[in-house]
Amino acid sequence: MRSLHVGIMSGTSLDGIDIAVAEFDEGNRLATLVDALCLPLPPQLKQELLALCQPGADEIRRAGSAGQQWARLAAQGVTALLDRCGIDPSSISSVGSHGQTIRHHPELGFSLQIGAPALLAELSGITVISDFRNRDIAAGGQGAPLVPAFHDWLLSDPEQARVLVNIGGFANLTLLRPGQPVTGFDSGPGNVLMDGWSQLHTGQPYDAGGKWARSGRPVASLLSTMLSDPYFARIGPKSTGREYFNQGWLERQLRSLETQPLAVDVQATLLELTARSIADAAAAQSAHSGEMYICGGGARNDFLMQRLGQLMPAATVHTTDILGVNPDWMEAMAFAWLAWRCEANKPGNLPAVTGASGYRILGAMYPG
C-alpha cells in the first residue's frame, strides 16, 4: 500500500515555497518523487519575512500575520499540486512543513519557524507535522542541519565515501563514510549574500548561472577578511543563518577596506567565499577528494559549480541528478521524510551532526 507524504520547504533564500509529493520504501530505502512545484513568494510577504529576521517594531503581531499568509499560500500550493497529480487529499498520510525560519538561536535554546501549521491543517484537511528543530535543540543540539539524516538514509553507499552539499541560502555538508558515523554542519553562506547583493545592485533576485559574478574579479583583501571570520574556523556541530551572515555583516567587511571595490567584483568575491568555505570545510574533514554531490539552488549556478571543481581537483563534483535525485527538490522531500519518520515514531535527527545528546523523534502534529 502506498504511503504518500507531502514536504514543504521555505528556505533562507526566500525564493519561494517548495512543495513535493513523495513516497518512501523503508525496506529498500527508496524515495520516489511523485511531483513537485515551487510557489514564488509575493513581494510584500517576502519583504516582511526578510524584515522579521532582524529585531523590529511590533514583530510579534507581524510574525503572526506573516505566518498566516504563508500557510494560506502553502495550502493553495498543496491543493494545486495534488489536483495536478490526480491525488485525493485523503491519500496523503501527512504534510511535513518546515515553515519559514525567522530566528535561529540554538545557543539560546530555540529556533523559530512561522507558518501557522494549525491553519495549514485546517485548510488542507491533511495532518500537518511541523516544528522539527526544537526537539533536537532541547536535547542540546543545534536543530540543524536536519537534511543529513535523509541523505544518510537515501544516499549512503556501503563502499564509497560521499559528500553531499546542499547550497540554499546557506550551505551545509553531509559526510557519508562507510563504517563511520555520519557528520555534517553548516559551512557558511550559500546563496544568501550573493542574492542580496544581486538584488541591491542589479534588481535581479539572484545572479542566474553566476554570469554576473563570472564577469568580475574577486577582491583578495575582501575575501581574506571574510574568511577570517571566526565562524569558518569552528568545528562542527555548528549551524548559522541570517542572524549572523547578513547585509550588515557584508557592510562591515567592506568598511574595513581602504578602497571600495566595484559591485561586480564584490559579487565575484561573494561567490568565491561560498566556494572556498565549502572546499575548505571539506578539506578540514579530509573529504576534498572522492565524490561530491551538490543539491539546492546552488546546483544551478554554473560558475559556482565550476569553481568547486577547480578548488577540489581530486574530487568529482556533480549535482545529485546523477544519483537520481532532482537537486531542486531534495529539501522538500527531506521534510516529507521527516514527517513520515515522526508518524512512525522513529528518530529524525543525527546526534553526531546536530550535537544532540541522543536520537529524538522530531515534529509536532496537527491532525487534519
Q: According to CATH, what is the number of the domain 4-142+329-366?
A: 3.30.420.40
> What does the domain layout of the chain look like in residue ranges?
4-142+329-366, 147-323
CB 145 within 8 A of CB 171: no
Encoded amino acid at 361, one letter: I
Whether 4-142+329-366 and 147-323 share one fold: the answer is yes
Burial label, 84 (beta-carbon count in 10 A; 0-12, 13-18, 19+): exposed
DSSP label at residue 112 = E
The pLDDT tens digits along the chain (368 residues) read 568 999 999 988 888 999 999 999 988 899 999 999 999 999 999 999 999 999 999 999 999 999 999 999 999 999 999 999 999 999 999 999 999 999 999 999 999 999 999 999 999 999 999 999 999 999 999 999 999 999 999 999 999 999 999 999 999 999 999 999 999 999 999 999 999 999 999 999 999 999 999 999 999 999 999 999 999 999 999 999 999 999 999 999 999 999 999 999 999 999 999 999 999 999 999 988 899 999 999 999 999 999 999 999 999 999 999 999 999 999 999 999 999 999 999 999 999 999 999 999 999 999 99
**Helices within 156-262 (DSSP H only):** 192-202, 211-214, 220-227, 230-233, 247-255
Q: What is the pTM of this model?
A: 0.94
CB 197 within 8 A of CB 327: no
CATH topology of domain 147-323: Nucleotidyltransferase; domain 5 (3.30.420)
